[in-house]
Amino acid sequence: MNIGRRTFAFSAASLLAFPATAQETWPTRPVTLVVPYPPGNAADISGRILLEPLSTEIGQRLIIDNRAGASGIMGSASVARAAPNGYTLLLTSNSPIASGPWVTKNVPYVVERDFTPIAGVARGALVLLAASDVPVSTTAEFVAYVKANPGKTSYGSFGQGNLNHLIMEMLRLRLGLDMVHVPYRGSGPAQLDLAAGRIQFLFDGAPGALARIKAGQAKGIAVSTLKRSPTLPDMPTLAESGLPELSGMDAGGWVGLFGPAQAPGPIVQRLNGALQAVIPTAQAKLLEQGLETFTANSPADFAAFVRADSEKWRQVVQEAKIEPQD
């Protein structure tokens, strides 16, 4: 598969023709946050936690508009086409921005050309789960089990190219594992089949994973991020396994705020500052959802983070020979 290399070159403040008076008075009417998923996604949850304090901070009402479809691509595309005036923004998890463009055919936007990164909002780990009847409880035991059963162990995902699919592919590539991928249409069927033992392994978000572990429906092995999850503080990371192949492994989900391309710099900076002001007050509620906040988080920092995350998934898709889907 030939995936062309893309160089991200975001610009946060290049609409020189945008009237200065409009920038100074923004916002004069409600601001729409397009969440490209149904309610309940991490981006939607983060948005609803931040909605009231962020509205107060900018002095204008914020409205969440859930525009689901095509794994977040449809709603994201609507923001790419919007006027760059600060009144239509994209609050999204990483899929339609960092990984989706590598696994989806005919994406109707080019991320680095059509969006302005504003700020990272939240980050979260995924948890490697094993079915209750699988005799493993550590990463080392997981590796030994899969290697002892080449081509016979299966792992589920919430769909071809979904983040939990790509994280398992990253793990498989690093460790040279031979596993069978079983893609599902969404999270529910995959979680049910793990609980029933019809698949052996699954990466799931920390809050959902904790619920399944407590219910005895699965066993937690490790978290995918470099730091331990606040939701599961006693669970080790993959990097803590002692396996040299997993040293430095850091692969989680995130939520970020974007505007259309050419968003005016003063509006971008004001939005970024408003988020920095309110996120500390929302931190406890975000932690309840297994989400942590970003640290260094200027628009430039966030743009660099997005570039690195996209390149990471490009490499995984290319090395795993994952063909883009319609």
Band of residue 9 on the pLDDT scale cut at 50, 70, 90: low
Amino acid at 55: S
- The yes-or-no verdict on residue 296 having pLDDT over 90 is no
pLDDT in tens, 151-197: 999 999 998 889 999 999 999 999 999 999 999 988 889 999 999 99
- The yes-or-no verdict on residue 12 having pLDDT over 80 is no
Band of residue 24 on the pLDDT scale cut at 50, 70, 90: low
User: What value does the mean pLDDT take over residues 71-78?
Assistant: 95
- The yes-or-no verdict on residue 18 having pLDDT over 90 is no
**Architecture category of domain 20-124+253-319 in CATH:** 3-Layer(aba) Sandwich (3.40)
Given a contact cutoff of 8 angstroms between Cβ atoms, the answer to whether 124 and 290 are in contact is yes
Given a contact cutoff of 8 angstroms between Cβ atoms, the answer to whether 37 and 278 are in contact is no
Question: How would you class 289 by CB atoms within 10 Å of its CB: exposed for 0-12, middle for 13-18, buried for 19 or more?
Answer: middle
Domains 20-124+253-319 and 126-246 share a fold: yes
- Order of strands across the sheet that contains 253-260: 62-66, 31-35, 88-93, 253-260, 115-124, 291-292
Given a contact cutoff of 8 angstroms between Cβ atoms, the answer to whether 169 and 182 are in contact is no
Q: Residue 22 is encoded by which pair of tokens?
A: 């409009």
Higher model confidence: residue 260 or residue 205?
260
The CATH H-level (homologous superfamily) assignment of domain 126-246 is Periplasmic binding protein-like II (3.40.190.10)
Report the share of the chain in percent with pLDDT over 70: 93
Residue 4 is predicted with a pLDDT of 43
Residue 186 is predicted with a pLDDT of 82
- The yes-or-no verdict on residue 51 having pLDDT over 50 is yes
Residue 208 is predicted with a pLDDT of 85
* Residue 201: closest CA among 290, 125, 124, 134: 134
What's the CA gap between 199 and 194, in Å, rounded? Answer: 5
Mean pLDDT, rounded, of the chain: 91
Angle, alpha carbons 203-236-103 (nearest 5°) = 30
Residue 10 is predicted with a pLDDT of 61
pLDDT in tens, 136-151: 999 999 999 999 999 9
Residue 207 is predicted with a pLDDT of 83
The domain locations on the chain are 20-124+253-319, 126-246
- The yes-or-no verdict on residue 58 having pLDDT over 70 is yes
- The yes-or-no verdict on residue 7 having pLDDT over 90 is no
